[in-house]
Each structure stands twice: as structure tokens, then as C-alpha cells.
């Protein structure tokens, strides 16, 4: 009989479950503006898809979410609910369009509901109560960050996993939209590895006052998507 392998990091196992495509946050329903990008002819193949996702990661929502993730993680690590609410409010304010805001809020709330249902944590519950009392909606990035901190996952590992999952979800949407084959989808995800590493390192070193994005085309296409005639995705 094979000797069982000891489990030494239950928090990491939880994070793997939370960021799995099967986790019930409805991530499959969002394209982060990529649907309008395909419709307008800006995303045509694997090369343009790779460039698009890399840009979003380093200069768009990926950059903003990485900074917010760090802030929310540190607030949870310090058990500072007021600071967490402040970061969550900033996250909501920094969404450039209505659909991108919906994408973040809907997934954030679904994430918290699912985590608290299966892995209840009194500290996370207190943070949720603080959000409700302040009438602040949870964002996806800040919700994952707080849960990861309370689960004991290191900041670098947690943020890297979040950015990887974020880019993989956009890649999955583009594979269905263009359409591309599954092999191209995996090549896109593989190409994101150095991009995720750069985005992760930059977020850990960046001054919190330098939070922001410069992905104007992504925001514009997200606005166009709101009135797009035929749509498969919610963003």
C-alpha cells in the first residue's frame, strides 16, 4: 500500500478550490470586455488574445486588482475591518464601467457566500458585517485576499494564484468567442506566466498611492458591450 502524502498546507488547498473554474462565482459568465474586442475585430487569434490579456494584467484591472488585493490582505492580516472596508470601497470606485463593476461585485458576493457556506470563519464573517454596515459592496479581489489571509496562505502565493486565475478566465472566454482551440487556450495561459510574475512583483513593490490603470480601450469596449446587439457574456 502506498504511503499517504501528508497535507502540510490546508490553506493552499482551499485557495486552489476557491480559484478553480468550478467554484460557484459565475466567472464563466464574464469576458471582461473581450466579447466587444472580438466583435470589433481587435481580438482575432492567439497572438492578439495573448497581447490583450497581458495588457489587462499589467495596465488594466489586473494592475488595480493586484494593488487592492495587497491592501485587503494586509488589512485581514492585521484584523483591521475598518481598513478592509476602506479598500473595498476604493475597489468599487475604481471600476471604469458599469459592467466591470457588476463583474467584480457579483463575483465578490458569490465568493463570500460560497466560502462562508463551506469554510465558515468568524473573522471573515466580521469583515462581511463591516461591509454591510458601511453599505459597501464586496469586490472579488478584496474578498479573495481576505479569505486567503485568514486561511494562512502567504501574500505572494495568494496574489500570484489570483492573477493567474483572472487571466485564465479571460482566456477561456476568448477561446469560446473567437473561437480558438483548447491547445491555443493553453498556449495563451502559458504565455501569461512571465506576465503574472511581473505584475505580482510590481504590486508588491508599488506605492499604494500609485494605484490606477491606463487601459482606456478596455473600458471603451466594455461600454460598447453594454449595448452590443448580440452577447454571450455579462461583461
Whole-number Cα distances in Å, 57 to 65, 79, 149, 167: 9, 28, 22, 7
pLDDT tens per residue across span 176-227: 999 999 999 999 999 999 999 999 999 999 988 888 888 889 999 999 999 9
* Count of positions (residues) in the chain: 235
Indicate if the pLDDT at residue 1 is higher than 80.
no
152 Cβ contact partners less than 8 Å away, ≥ 6 residues apart: 11
C-alpha–C-alpha distance, residues 198 and 87, integer Å = 23
C-alpha–C-alpha distance, residues 117 and 225, integer Å = 33
45 Cβ contact partners less than 8 Å away, ≥ 6 residues apart: 178, 180
Q: Give exposure, 48-78, as e/b (b: 16+ Cβ within 10 Å).
A: bbbebbbbbbbbbbbbbbbbbbbbbbbbbee
Nearest CA to 204 among 157, 150, 168, 167?
A: 157
* pLDDT for position 92: 86
CB 154 within 8 A of CB 12: no
Indicate if the pLDDT at residue 5 is higher than 80.
no
* pLDDT for position 17: 95
pLDDT tens per residue across span 106-143: 999 999 999 999 999 999 999 999 999 999 999 999 99
- Ranges of H-type helices in the chain: 10-18, 34-39, 46-59, 61-77, 81-93, 98-118, 122-133, 140-150, 155-177, 182-191, 193-205, 216-226
pLDDT tens per residue across span 149-189: 999 999 999 999 999 999 999 999 999 999 999 999 999 99
C-alpha–C-alpha distance, residues 201 and 58, integer Å = 11
**Whole-model pTM over 0.85:** yes
Please report which confidence band the pLDDT of residue 7 belongs to, taking 50, 70 and 90 as the band edges. very low
Residue extents of the structural domains in the chain: 30-225
* pLDDT for position 88: 96
Average pLDDT over residues 25-45: 94
C-alpha–C-alpha distance, residues 144 and 69, integer Å = 8
Kindly state the percentage of the chain with pLDDT values over 90.
86
C-alpha cell at 79: 484584523
Whole-number Cα distances in Å, 86 to 19, 70, 134: 24, 13, 10
Indicate if the pLDDT at residue 51 is higher than 80.
yes
Nearest CA to 140 among 35, 25, 11?
A: 25
- Per the prediction, the chain carries an average pLDDT of 93
CATH number, domain 30-225, options 3.40.50.10190, 1.10.287.990, 3.40.50.720, 1.10.4190.10: 1.10.4190.10
Amino acid at each position: 500500500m502506498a504511503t499517504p502524502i501528508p497535507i502540510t498546507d490546508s490553506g493552499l488547498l482551499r485557495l486552489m478550490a476557491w480559484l478553480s473554474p468550478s467554484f460557484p462565482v459565475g466567472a464563466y459568465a464574464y469576458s471582461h470586455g473581450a466579447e466587444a474586442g472580438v466583435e470589433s475585430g481587435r481580438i482575432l487569434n492567439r497572438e492578439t488574445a495573448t497581447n490583450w490579456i497581458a495588457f489587462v494584467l499589467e495596465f488594466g484591472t489586473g494592475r488595480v486588482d493586484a494593488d487592492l488585493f495587497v491592501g485587503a490582505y494586509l488589512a485581514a492580516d492585521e484584523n483591521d475591518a475598518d481598513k478592509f472596508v476602506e479598500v473595498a470601497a476604493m475597489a468599487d470606485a475604481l471600476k471604469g464601467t458599469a459592467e466591470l463593476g457588476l463583474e467584480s461585485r457579483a463575483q465578490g458576493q458569490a465568493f463570500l457566500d460560497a466560502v462562508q457556506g463551506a469554510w465558515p470563519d468568524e473573522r471573515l464573517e466580521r469583515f462581511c458585517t463591516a461591509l454591510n454596515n458601511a453599505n459597501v459592496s464586496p469586490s472579488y479581489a478584496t474578498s479573495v485576499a481576505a479569505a486567503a489571509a485568514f486561511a494562512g496562505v502567504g501574500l505572494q502565493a495568494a496574489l500570484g494564484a489570483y492573477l493567474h486565475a483572472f487571466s485564465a478566465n479571460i482566456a477561456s472566454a476568448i477561446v469560446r468567442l473567437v473561437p480558438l482551440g483548447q491547445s491555443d487556450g493553453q498556449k495563451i495561459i502559458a504565455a501569461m506566466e512571465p506576465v503574472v510574475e511581473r505584475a505580482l512583483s510590481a504590486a508588491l513593490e508599488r506605492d499604494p498611492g500609485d494605484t490606477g490603470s491606463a487601459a482606456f480601450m478596455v473600458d471603451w469596449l466594455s461600454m460598447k458591450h453594454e449595448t452590443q446587439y448580440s452577447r454571450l457574456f455579462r461583461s
